[in-house]
Structures are given as structure tokens and as C-alpha cells.
Amino acid sequence: MDALDRTDWSALGAAELEGVVALRRAIHADPELGLDCGRTADKIKAALAGLPLELREGPSTSGIVAILRGAGDNGRCVLLRGDMDALPLDEETGLAFASKNAGMMHACGHDAHSAMLVGAARALAARRDTLPGTIAFMFQPGEEGHHGARYMIEDGLLDGIVAGRRPDAAFALHIWPTLERGIVAGRAGALLASADTLKAVIRGKGGHAAMPHDALDPIPVACEIVMALQAHIARTVPVGDPAILSITKIDAGTTHNIIPDCVELLGTVRALSETRRAAVHAAFARIVEHVAAAHGLIGEARIEEGYPVTVNDPRATALVRRCAETLGGERAWTELPLQTMGAEDFAFVLREIPGAMAFLGVAPEGSEPDARRPLHNTGMVLDEATMARGVALHCLFAESFLAKGFG
């Protein structure tokens, strides 16, 4: 039996739970947005104080990479990631430790992600003498649309950790408040979609609403463009390589009797392959420009690239499954039949390093499925006891990979 088999990570995760809950509540009560989560980073660094860790920080974000070097060195390095930032929401949970910052709430579980990763760092540091390689703990701000992972990579925080290279594998857990507590869910290949922002301006000629023939009205043309985009997705995108395109905002006009000069469109496009992503980008520009031109107007299309597709390495996914079943038996793993059209900037890490993200069920014990609030909901709550399982999973991911690689 090797060190992996001898270690009871469930018990060690449970031993860290009290501190993990306390840290999660402190972060939850004081949420921060975007790339600058300095107070959250300070709480994390305080919780890591005294551990044999090397801390790296960069100029672009408040992110931290904490490096634990095992007593042995077989050349392997594994990265574990937790995010730090909150969402721009007003909390409605009624919790005693609810957000004290107006318009900010940890409604996506990043408070739990950071706290569980700190618990794992503490548990693994206590077993440093048995570790045969290196572990990098990545505490990342700016996941909610701010590209925090990309900035940390560009700042070089993952470079040269061992033998002049980046980590060999990367793992992340994301809590899921509508999934039964303790269940780990995932799949190999595409797990989450790419996410890009669509913007368009339809330029016409304004005028009196009673005399539309003297104007070039951009509003009906904009409406036609929206419908043409929906028809394109419905009639040209195959179900086996899907995409979703939603126009979520139309901005035009000032009052009831004036035809405006222009209309602005805002929306999002999601895809599960880079090939489909590029094809929909091209179609968006083509439809905006050509439909407008057909009516004598000018259509300007712009795409702001967001997150790439989150792609799980099959070997890493198999390792996650083995770890989940080691801790909770065969029923502790659920194979997702379909991808999720949400997006994650852990995709930037997985684009550089083979690895996997999985979902951890944290539905409150005894809760009815219909009563569970989803992610990004102002009433979202989670089962804090399940964070012990999250700590144990992180530890097992790391120890398993260091001991055996993806084998």
C-alpha cells in the first residue's frame, strides 16, 4: 500500500472543517468584485500563515499562488485552484453572516472554493514529509467575467514552479447547490461553453415618426437582424456541435414620435467547440452587416472574446472519478450526459495545462429539489458540512497525481 492508500483524507478533511467554515463565513460577509479582492486575499494569507509555503503575487490582480514543496521530488507538480470574487447582487439569504456590502454577494460559491482550498493547503502541509512532489494552490480573483485566470497566467505566476515549467496537471472544484450533497459530477471533454459578448450598431437616419419615408428607420432592421440570428442558430447549427446566441439588450430612441439614428444590440454567444465558436462569430458579423445593407443602412458588428471552452482531459477526469469513489463509493460520482452552457475562466488554465474541473453537490441536507436556489441567485445557500468533502477531494487529487500521475 502506498501513501495514497494509507491516508484517510475524509477524516483529515473533517478535521479542517471548523476552520474552513469560519473562513468561508468571513469571506462571505465581506465580498469583493472583479480583479482586486485585496481584503479576501488578506484573509487567505492570514489563514495560510505559518505554513511552509512560497507565495507568489503579480501586478495585474490580487491573486495568490502558494507553493508547497514536498520532502521528496519526483519532478511532478499539480495545481489546485479556487476563486475569490463575488457577484454584483443584493443578498437575500437571511444568514447571520450575510454580505455586509451593498450590491455584492457570494452567490456562486467562490467563498467556499477559497476556504476549501485553504483547508486542503493546511492538511497537505501537515503531511509535507510524505509528499513526493510539488503542489501549487491558485487563489484567483476575477472569475466572474474579468479573466482573472488569464491575467495570472500572463503575469507568469504559474511559470517555472518546477524545473523551469508550469504544473503538470490542474484540478478545480465548483460547488453546485442543486446537486445532492457530496455527489461529484463531471465528464471528459467539453464541460462548459465558451462565452463571448456580441455588440452591434445599426446606423440609419433619424426623422419624424409620422414621416418614416423621409428617414432610414434602424428599429425594424434591428428586429430583423435579431430574428435572422435566431434563424441562423436554429437552422444551421447541428445539435451535435451546439451554440446558443441570445440578444439581451436593445437600446434605441428617446421618445414616441422620433425615429432614432441608430440602434445598439448587446448579447452573448456560447459554443462547445472552437470551430463552432469561430463559425458563429463569422455569421454574426455577416448577418448584421448584410441585413442592414439590404435596407440601405450600415451595420457594425463587434465581438469581445470571453472565456474559451472548458475542456477536461480524459485522464484527469478518470482521476477525479477515482478520487470521488475512494471517498464516497460508486454512488459518489455522477457522469454528466451533457455539457453545461455556462462558462468558467478555469478554461484558460486547462488550455495550458491538462486537468479537469468537477462539480461538488452542496444542496442543504433534507431540502426538496424544487426549493433549492441555483447559482447566481440572491437566496443561494449551501451545506457547509460538505466542504469537508471538498477539502478531502483536493487533497486526494494532489496526492494521487503526485504518486501516480494520470495512471
Q: Return the residue matching grid coordinates 507568469.
A: 156
Which CATH architecture group holds 194-307?
A: 2-Layer Sandwich (3.30)
Over residues 299-322, mean pLDDT: 98
pLDDT (tens digit, 9 = 90+) per residue, 154-206?
A: 999 999 999 889 999 999 999 999 999 999 999 999 999 999 999 999 999 99
Q: Which residues contact 294 (CB under 8 A, 6 or more apart)?
A: none
Alpha carbon 236 to its chain centroid, in Å, reads 29
pLDDT tens column, 84-111: 999 999 999 999 999 999 999 999 999 9
pLDDT digits (tens, 9 = 90+) for 244-289: 999 999 999 999 999 999 999 999 999 999 999 999 999 999 999 9
Q: Is the pLDDT of residue 2 over 90?
A: no
309 touches 190 (CB < 8 A): yes
Average pLDDT over residues 125-136: 96
pLDDT of residue 407: 83
**Residue 307 among the catalytic residues:** yes
- What is the residue extent of each domain of the chain? 3-189+310-404, 194-307
Whether 384 is catalytic is yes
**How is residue 259 written as a grid cell?**
425615429
pLDDT tier for residue 17 given thresholds of 50, 70 and 90: very high
What is the pLDDT, as a whole number, of residue 400? 96
Pick the CATH number of 3-189+310-404 from 3.30.70.890, 3.55.40.20, 3.40.630.10, 3.40.50.1110: 3.40.630.10
Which of 57, 92, 224, 384 is the catalytic position?
Answer: 384
Q: How many beta carbons lie within 10 A of that of residue 24, not counting itself?
A: 25
- Catalytic-labelled residue, pool 32, 307, 344, 399: 307
Instruction: Return d(Cα 342, Cα 161) in angstroms, integer.
Output: 31
Sequence-ordered list of residues with C-beta below 8 angstroms from that of 221, at least 6 positions apart, any chain:
202, 204, 263, 291, 292, 295, 297, 299
Nearest CA to 186 out of 197, 171, 199, 198 is that of: 171
% of the chain beyond a pLDDT of 90: 96
| One-letter identity of residue 223 | C
pLDDT of residue 45: 98
